[in-house]
Amino acid sequence: MNRKEIFIKEEDHSYSLGFSVRDYECDIQGVVNNANYQHYLEHARHEYLISRAISFSRLHEEGIDLIVTRVEIEYKFPLRSGDRFNVCVSVEREGNARLVFKQDIFRVPDGRHIINARVTGVATRNGRPVSPGILIEQLGLE
């Protein structure tokens, strides 16, 4: 393999949220359907922001909406019904308007790396990108 392997651990992230796979999230092969991973990632991002006192409804009332503009997922190993897992989240700035959420899923209790994801978003006002302003401060990214 020519590509350099990067080893990621749960400890590399600033937030983690636990889940369990439900039967209806699995496809005919008995593994989690790939679309469900985006639901896990989104729920963990929302809970992370709430843990940092960032409210989507308050932002919307102030005219700011957070929009996902890009999702990249590398599937490494499947989850199956009943598996427990953690979705880990960290965030960094990219330029003046973008926030990049780096997310990983690890199976519990063995720590198997399930997916690696990079989710890019922007803050918008009236459909136009704006500086995330207060979010930068609340996320400790200044």
Residue-wise pLDDT tens digits, 85-139: 999 999 999 988 899 999 999 999 999 999 999 999 999 999 899 988 888 888 9
CATH architecture of residue range(s) 12-138: Roll (3.10)
Q: How far apart are CA 36 and CA 25, in angstroms?
A: 7
Structure tokens at 16: 């983690």
Q: How far apart are CA 28 and CA 84, in angstroms?
A: 20
Structure tokens at 137: 């401060």
Which residues carry out catalysis? 27
Residue-wise pLDDT tens digits, 19-56: 999 999 999 999 999 999 999 999 999 999 999 999 98
Which stretches does DSSP call E strand in the chain?
15-20, 65-75, 84-94, 98-108, 113-125, 128-130
Q: How far apart are CA 53 and CA 135, in angstroms?
A: 10
CB-CB neighbours of 118 under 10 Å = 13
Strand partners, 118: 72, 102
**Helix, strand or coil for residue 76?**
coil
- The one-letter code for the residue type at 129 is P
pTM: 0.90
Q: How confident is the model at residue 3 (pLDDT cuts 50, 70, 90)?
A: very low
